[in-house]
Structure 1
Amino acid sequence: MKQIRFGIIGVGGMGSGHARTMQNIEECKLTAVCDIDEEVVKSVAERYGVKAFTDYRELIDSGLVDAVIVATPHYFHPPISVYAMKKGIAVLSEKPIAVTVKGADEMVKTAKETGVPFAVMYQTRSTGFAQAAKKLVDEGKLGEIYRASMIVTYFRSQAYYNSAGWRATWRGEGGGVLINQAPHALDLFTWLGGLPSKVSSVTRTVRHQIEVEDEASAILEYPNGAIGYLHTSTNEAPGTNFMEFCGEKGKLVLYNNRIYFWQLETPVQVFSDTTDQMWGSPKARQVEVPIEERESGHGAIMRNLARNILHGEELISPGVEGLNSVELINAVILSGAKGKEVTIPVDRDEYERFIEEMKAKSKEKKVTKVRRETDPQHLR
């Protein structure tokens, strides 16, 4: 079997997990790793018997790779990805593809101009329940969506935030829960419900000693007049994983990776306009949604990119679609910070000015010793 040669850029965190996962993907062969920490990259390279680099440009130019996984801190995703694509090397970027919409624009533009495969690690899309939900929406089973809601919360301890100097800082991460934990949920939310046109939000730091938000709530307005709501935080135990999409023909609920769908006998507006029943409402029946057993997770996205390069298989998570979640993240952060309604597309120059101001105020953080554990995502 022909294999795609992969390099991983950034192996001090998620990248090392991706290296381990890749050992079980027959279409992928790890051939090189890169990290600015010489000790870390040497250790990973020796573990897998591959070439080590400390400069991403040298890895990309080495002739050893057909594709790279970019698993560096967020700010470095755009320059590394753009450099790789311009050299004809396929890219799988960790989420989010960029901190700012301007950075994401450059990545999308380069992908379109070069035609080089570009994917983003939104592995939730690969799950059976997400694919089933997307099929319902695409087939028009909900009809026009008039309300979309998302409540997805997590718990992170202060020890988690203290574990690295870049965590939860404007200079190191570019935001808090919105840029780190929530992107997978925000990608699914916009993949199914579309991108809003107006955002009004409240962002704040509630439970942790950090300089970025650990909680965000937003009211959303969509181009068709639909209304939406989202809430995310790292303050809740147990966390909540809930999305709801209400359409003229039915209602879709995603709760803890399960899918529920109610189909209406008569569309909402049609029933409202034609019924003579004072207290009547459209009859709804719950419909069981078949969920396909399929490979999911990080490995599924890696395999999919390899098959895209080898056979032209459609990308599950195209990098160009990664722009949508960045638009929403930037809009929510900017609205909360400025106390005003923000329109989408976000003003690129305004957000660049904002993020530079926040980075300038960012303070060096004390790192404390914590018990280190493997990210549960890589234990599967």
Structure 2
Amino acid sequence: MIRIGIVGCGRILNAHLQGYKKLREAGVDNFRITALVARKEEDALMFRRRGEGPPPRPPVLPPESGDPLAAPHTYVSDFQDDVEVHVYTDYRQMIADGVVDAVNDFTTLALHHQIAEHAFAHGLHLLTQKPLAISVKAARRMVETARERGLTFGTFENVRQGRFTRAARWAVEKGLIGEPQMALIGSLGGLWSPDKVVADTPWRHRKLEGGGGGSIDIGVHQFHLLRYVFGEVAWVNAVARTLEPVRYRRDEQGHIIQEVPVDVDDTYLAVAGFENEAIAQLLWSWGGHGAALEIPGAPVFWGSEGCIKGGQLFDDDGRATPLLEHFEANLSPEERERFFPLGLTDPFAIQQLDWLQAIEQGRDPETSGQEGLHDLACAFAMLESSVARRQVTLAEVLSGAVNAYQAEIDAHYGLAW
């Protein structure tokens, strides 16, 4: 039995608990949640047992958005009632009490490397919410320490297990669009534009707490998708800007209740090159006044014999085949079980199952700490490129040879190269 301690009881926890609930419904019985940790005790009690604790937080997104932040409020007691769930306000005390074998870290970004250091020192396995760490140096230390101690270490990156992501990777591997050539991903403006506090979380707009803005929060998702479908990234050339230096929290009547000074980007435009010579354009903005720009059909992947656009496979004659239908109809039984074990389709459930199995088998999960490190390096490469005003390679960012943007972060946390 794997005893799991969850550190961080924010809105995203609902999606994770939904994933665990689906595992239990699928007959997976090799785990128990035995501890919840939050800075405020009432935040942990909010998730422990239905009918107890404070009321749930109000949603920041409607359920129809499909965003994990819009998952229904879920309690640990919804899927387990046979063990005590301890509540803590300090993750170090939870670890010292010996009530867990493994840790889910769903805290704010600045804590990730600190929690990892303490967990690994006590021989605990770890699954860390993306982005992996506050800087590339911090992430490297996490990966290296887990490897040295023989511990299972994963990055929670829910993009990987989505049906479209799996289908796109499968189509490219099967040669359905030929050799990879180009990709386009992103949008400009939208839900949090032009000056709202993203997800009602001011820390996302502070460099020493969030590392970067959209470049890190969204960039790791984009690069994970691109890397998984098209291959490893070799270089990045980008411009990042802060279009809105102050963001605002407003009440239901639209009155400003908090001003949040911003010292990270809210907009980036980037080009990335892959080791296989393919190229990609990435764009994103939490700024932008007026109308937002959604790119029809994005993300788009072009190959030497066709493309994937808007969920369709197109050949050179313009014939379209629904990608997901073709994927579902042609998966082998082995592929189906690998992509959707036990018939699961929820990315949170699939990723947690892989992590639990990895612990039992003494390996890393598919979305390993190493994968999270490379996603993070790609994202920080955009910021390093913008500061350096030149193309930067992933090797430079991973080694610390290019580190001008992150130097302040590393110095603050004692992470000097």
Q: TM-score range by the shorter chain?
A: 0.7 to 0.9
Give the share of equivalent positions with the same residue, in percent: 27
Question: 1:322 aligns to what?
Answer: 372
Question: 2:303 aligns to what?
Answer: 247
1:91 aligns with 2:123: no
Distance of 1:98 and 1:251 partners within structure 2: 34
Can you give the 5+ residue segments of structure 1 that lack an aligned partner in the other structure? 265-282, 362-380
Question: 1:180 aligns to what?
Answer: 217
Quick one: structure 1 residues 205 and 194, their matched pair in 2 at CA, closer, same or farther if it must change by over 3 Å?
same
1:276-306 CA-partner distances (Å, limit 9, x unpaired): xxxxxxx564344334474123233223322
Q: State the Cα distance separating 1:74 from its structure 2 match.
A: 0.9
User: Which of residues 364, 381, 391 in structure 2 aligns to 1:341?
Assistant: 391
User: Which of residues 175, 180, 199 in structure 2 aligns to 1:145?
Assistant: 180
Does the CA-based 8 Å contact 1:216-1:232 persist in structure 2?
Answer: yes
Question: 2:114 aligns to what?
Answer: 79
Quick one: structure 1 residues 313 and 116, their matched pair in 2 at CA, closer, same or farther if it must change by over 3 Å?
closer
Instruction: Report how many aligned residue pairs link the two structures.
Output: 337
Secondary structure at 2:382 match in 1: helix
Can you give the 5+ residue segments of structure 2 that lack an aligned partner in the other structure? 54-75, 77-83, 247-261, 329-342, 413-417
Distance of 1:285 and 1:313 partners within structure 2: 43
1:68 aligns with 2:119: no
Q: Give the alignment's Cα RMSD to 1 decimal.
A: 3.1
Question: 2:142 aligns to what?
Answer: 107
The more displaced of 322-331 and 13-22 is 13-22
Question: 1:199 aligns to what?
Answer: 236
Distance of 2:375 and 2:32 partners within structure 1: 30
The more displaced of 111-120 and 196-205 is 111-120
Does the CA-based 8 Å contact 1:42-1:52 persist in structure 2?
Answer: yes
User: Which of residues 353, 363, 386 in structure 2 aligns to 1:303?
Assistant: 353
Secondary structure at 2:208 match in 1: coil
1:223 aligns with 2:275: yes
Q: Which amino acid aligns with 1:9?
A: V
Question: 1:7 aligns to what?
Answer: 5
1:138-188 CA-partner distances (Å, limit 9, x unpaired): 334344322222224553153434944423111221111111234222211
Question: 1:355 aligns to what?
Answer: 406
Secondary structure at 1:252 match in 2: strand
Distance of 1:184 and 1:218 partners within structure 2: 14
TM-score of the aligned structures, taking structure 1 as reference length: 0.77
Distance of 2:275 and 2:119 partners within structure 1: 35
Quick one: structure 1 residues 60 and 178, their matched pair in 2 at CA, closer, same or farther if it must change by over 3 Å?
same
Quick one: structure 1 residues 162 and 81, their matched pair in 2 at CA, closer, same or farther if it must change by over 3 Å?
closer
Does the CA-based 8 Å contact 2:152-2:364 persist in structure 1?
Answer: no
The more displaced of 15-24 and 104-113 is 15-24
Q: State the Cα distance separating 1:204 from its structure 2 match.
A: 1.0
Q: State the Cα distance separating 1:16 from its structure 2 match.
A: 5.6
Does the CA-based 8 Å contact 1:19-1:30 persist in structure 2?
Answer: no
Question: 2:80 aligns to what?
Answer: none
